[in-house]
Structure formats: C-alpha cells, structure tokens
C-alpha cells in the first residue's frame, strides 16, 4: 500500500506494489516544460491518482499530455477501470492542498 506522500518513483524503487498504469506513467518520464527548459516530474501518489503541482512562477506544459499548469495548479492523473486512456483533471491552486476530488 502506498503512503499518501510517497513519490511514484520511490514506490517503484522500493518494490512497493503499484498499479500497472502508474508504473507506465513513471516509465514514460513525463516532463514539465517552461520556455526552452524543463524538468522531470516527480509524481506524488494519493487516493489512486498521480499528482503533480506546479510550484514554479511560470506556466509549465506537461508532456506528453500537452496540459498547461499555472503556478499552484495540480494535475491529477488516474486510470479508470474499463477506460483505454488516462483520465486527467486540473485543479486550481486553492484546491491543490485538499483531496483533489474529481468533478
């Protein structure tokens, strides 16, 4: 079972069981791109979702999803049973510190 503050990469390295969709997400090496620069995303596992919050002062484009996040916004990625692709939800800065329930 994942601790709510566990990063997905730490879970994989610690041989913690994680869903296959989450392992695939981590293996894909998603990046947050801003201008000509970027950095690897460290996904946080919470309530069956992978979360990333933009803590930088500028807009970041999350690749390969093409989703743009302003400062403080959170991207929640999940895989719903029976679906054929990831579910993406973006939450505003005010909602980023709560449970980020999908609408």
Task: Classify strands 44-46 and 60-63 as parallel, antiparallel or unpaired.
Answer: unpaired
d(CA 61, CA 56): 12
pLDDT band at residue 18 under the 50/70/90 scheme: confident
d(CA 48, CA 67): 20
Q: What is the pTM of this model?
A: 0.77
Largest CA distance in the chain: 38
How confident is the model over 30-58, as pLDDT tens digits? 999 998 899 999 998 888 899 999 998 89
> What are the domain boundaries of the chain?
8-95
The radius of gyration computed from the CA coordinates of the chain, to the nearest angstrom, equals: 13
pLDDT of residue 16: 64
pLDDT of residue 9: 54
d(CA 35, CA 58): 9
């Amino acid at each position: 079972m994942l601790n709510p503050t566990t990063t997905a990469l730490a879970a994989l390295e610690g041989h913690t069981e994680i869903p296959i969709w989450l392992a695939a997400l981590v293996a894909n090496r998603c990046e947050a791109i801003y201008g000509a620069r970027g950095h690897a995303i460290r996904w946080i596992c919470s309530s069956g979702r992978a979360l990333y919050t933009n803590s930088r002062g500028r807009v970041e484009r999350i690749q390969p999803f093409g989703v743009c996040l302003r400062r403080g916004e959170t991207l929640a990625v999940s895989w719903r049973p029976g679906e054929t692709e990831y579910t993406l939800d973006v939450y505003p800065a005010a909602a980023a510190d709560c449970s980020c329930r999908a609408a």
